[in-house]
Amino acid sequence: MSEEFTARKSRARFHGRVEDSRRLCAEPGCNGPGEFRAPVPGGRRPGFDGPGDWRFLCLDHIRAFNSGYNFFTGMSTEEIEAEQTSYGGWDRETRAFTPGAGAAPRWGDFVDPLDAIGARFARAADRERRDGRPLSESDRQALKIMGLDKDADRRALRTRYAELVRRYHPDRNGGDRSHEKALQDVISAYTQLKGRPAFA
């Protein structure tokens, strides 16, 4: 391989490098080539009025600039946790399209996208309650947590709730708090279901 090709290949390793830049690094006292663009601190941001104010830095100084960048600056603890969820947006409802025959369920009703895909192909007869009262996918998920059938009534819901609270509560387990997550899930599921039309 020629030396020119090798040099070109090594330069291409870095995304954002401005090829054949004749500028010097904007850091005072640095004579390295200014090959990487960075915003000017306190300068005009890119927008409707133009591209904004930029300065050009060498590889070492752009690395130093990038290491000081923090995506979470100015966010509250709750906002940071929301950005770091493993679901990455699957819990947000998307725009609804006009439903047709065999329309897909709403993505917002599911925590796991694979459940949403599977729900599309589930037989409708298997999903309906005998009394005809509606159940959303989140209701079905709550019933699953409670260990109840889709046709359970209000009495069965209350009985099962009392049974699971007794099973998971630390006071009933000698202070063992290892079932706290399960207890919270049960309380959450019960709170959701008790106000639904199917359990009125």
pLDDT (0 to 100) of residue 101 = 46
The pLDDT tens digits of the residues spanning 142-159 come to: 899 999 988 888 899 999
Does an H or E element contain 116, and which? helix 113-120
DSSP-assigned letter for residue 149: -
Domains, the chain, in order of start with CATH, read: 3-67 (no CATH), 107-199 (1.10.287.110)
Most confident among 15-24, 60-69, 106-115, 157-166 (mean pLDDT): 157-166
Phi then psi dihedrals of residue 65, to 5 deg: -60, -45
Place of tokens 């391989």: 1
pTM value surpassing 0.75? no
Cα separation, 36 vs 56, in Å, equals 5
| pLDDT given for residue 25 in this prediction | 92
Number of Cβ atoms within 10 Å of the Cβ of 168: 21
Over the stretch 26-75, which tens digit does the pLDDT of each residue have? 999 998 888 888 888 777 777 777 777 888 899 899 888 888 877 777 78
pLDDT tens across 64-105, in order? 888 887 777 778 888 877 777 655 556 556 655 555 445 555
